[in-house]
Structure 1
Amino acid sequence: MEKDQFIEEVRHTAEGYFERGEFFCSEAVVKTINDMLDKPYDENVTKLASGFPVGIGKSGCVCGAVSGGVMALGMVYGREHGEAMQEKMFPVSADLHDHIKGIYKSTCCRVMTRNFEFSSPERKSHCIKITGEVAAYIAEKLYEDDKLNKDENN
């Protein structure tokens, strides 16, 4: 599968989880990336992302999709006890933050959604789009960093 098609498939998968109500933003990103990586973590890893939607437990702070995205990046660039921090972990996380901020002018949930009534279909659609953007961005970075099994994805 070519790169652009692969990235769009990842985007669509993450958006679908949120749109169908199976997961919220952070959970959809973590589930999608874990599956994309051929499940290096048990299915229960998605539970770790369950407190981040709507800006960390509905507090309206950091966008849940971004929080889930940073967690997903940790699947590849994170470290285990006793290991040194991987050189790319901080820059790739900051790049995700900057990418989303560049598009939406913020990474704060309440700012990113301020023009929408919370329970409206328009707000949900907006958040689905952000979720897909985060998942697609991560997929592209992992693809470019050769962190995927290209035989299976090409």
Structure 2
Amino acid sequence: MNTTEKKQQLAIATFQSGYNCAQSVLSTFSINFSLERDSLLKLASPFGSGIAKTQETCGAVTGALMAIGLKYGKGTNGTEEDKLISYALAQKLMTEFSRIHGCTNCKKLLNDLDMNNESEMAKIKELNLFNTNCINYIQTAVKLTDEILENN
């Protein structure tokens, strides 16, 4: 099993233990940045379910984008070029994720079902979308992020 597959397994285990998709993806990269996993879990907490349960951008994608920002983003001593590089890599991730899954929108990725609507949330659970679709999105986000962090 390669490093990416190990990270995918850790992200899935994190998700299945009750953390959201953004937390599951971002926290998997704690070792890349020598940051405490708990801090990354906290940081990503409001980004699950398409950012604060608004079902906008998929949490697996936002977790991946935060990881890209940690490596390539403009920090205190950074440059405009750093910011532009992080934008370009973020766009690369989002484009590839959309190519694979059709979009980055959480609601659309969950069969256009609204998790804030009780009957539609019941349908999401009935169809087991969190354990099928979302796990697939998490795996893709981890794979794409790992490729970007290792190859740029």
The CA RMSD over aligned residues, in Å, is 2.0
1 or 2, which has the higher helix percentage?
2
Structure 1 unaligned regions, length at least 5: 146-154
- Cα deviation for residue 88 of structure 1 reads 2.2
Contact 2:61 2:141 in 1 (8 A): yes
Structure 2 residue corresponding to 1:6, chosen from 3, 7, 14: 3
- Say yes or no: does 1:94 pair with 2:101: no
Residue by residue over 1:40-85, the C-alpha shift from the partner in whole angstroms, topping out at 9 and shown as x without a partner, is 4563132111111111111111111111110111110112125213
Matched, 1:106 2:103: yes
> Are the structure 2 counterparts of residues 77 and 41 from structure 1 closer, same or farther at C-alpha, using a change threshold of 3 Å?
farther
Distance change in 2, residues 1:142/1:105 (3 Å): same
Determine which of 102, 120, 142 is the counterpart of 2:126: 120
CA separation of 1:104 and 1:97: change in aligned 2, threshold 3 A: same
Q: Does 1:74 align with 2:69?
A: yes
Q: Please give the secondary structure, in 1, of the residue aligned with 2:46.
A: coil
Structure-1-length-normalised TM-score: 0.81
How far is the alpha carbon of 1:106 from its aligned partner?
Answer: 0.9
Distance 1:43 1:53 in 2: 16
Greater relative contact order (Cα 8 A, min sep 6): structure 1 or 2? Answer: 1
Structure 1 segments of 4 or more deviating over 6 A?
none
Deviation at 1:34, TM superposition (A): 1.5
1:2-151 aligned within 5 A? 5-21=2-18, 23-35=19-31, 37=32, 39-40=34-35, 43-85=38-80, 86=82, 87-114=84-111, 117-120=123-126, 122-125=128-131, 126-145=133-152
Matched residue count: 140
Determine what percentage of the aligned residue pairs are the same residue: 24
